[in-house]
Structure 1
Amino acid sequence: MSDQFSPEISTRICNHMNEDHANAVLLYAQVFGEITQATAAQMLSIDAQGMELTAQVNGETVPVRVPFDHVLVDAEDAHHTLIAMVKQARVNQQTQ
């Protein structure tokens, strides 16, 4: 199914997330990537199994792989999954 995520689709999703939802990308790194000290993050790529991020920790760039809980079927599935993940991350942060 990962053939559904062409480089163009990955780039479009990453650009949108980095430009419009930087706080969500940071939450993905902090909560799902378990990089709790991250102060910023950037989405580099997305595929059917997960996303590649970089996180800023104490002035250093750290690579982070965040797997999805299921294999994504298409860009719409990615959209819904990313929204669900940010909602879950916010709940997780509030309960800590």
Structure 2
Amino acid sequence: MAGDVITPAISDRICAHMNDDHADAVLIYAKVFGNASEATAAKMLAIDPEGMDISAEVDGQEQAVRVAFDHTLADSEDAHQTLIAMIKQARQKG
């Protein structure tokens, strides 16, 4: 089943869900894939077919982090599956 094209509205919905329900995952994305290993908190600001923008807190300072995906996302379902795969990959690294 195909998902919705990733519009700004879909991006906002995904970000709100990730920040509210999966803040730990967002922090892992910033640390493992965004080279912000010192981050203590993170918030997903936007997601698009190429990657996601995260605001990470490093030493009390906000730091912009861009995490590129390994492929261009087709739709919101692809985003969902990709985000899950990235968490599994990050946990295996850790």
TM class, shorter-length? over 0.9
Q: What is the CA RMSD across the aligned residues, in angstroms?
A: 0.5
* Shift >3 Å, 4+ stretches: none
Counterpart of 2:30 in structure 1 is 29
The answer to whether structure 1 residue 82 and structure 2 residue 83 are counterparts is yes
Q: Percent identity?
A: 60
After superposition, what is the alpha-carbon deviation per residue over 1:26-73, rounded to whole angstroms, capped at 9, x for unaligned? 000000001100000000000000000010000000000000000000
Aligned residue type for 2:65: V
Structure 2, unpaired ranges of 5+:
none
Counterpart of 2:92 in structure 1 is 91
Structure 1, unpaired ranges of 5+:
none
Between the aligned partners of 2:91 and 2:35, the Cα distance in structure 1 is 14
Aligned residue type for 1:79: H
The answer to whether structure 1 residue 38 and structure 2 residue 39 are counterparts is yes
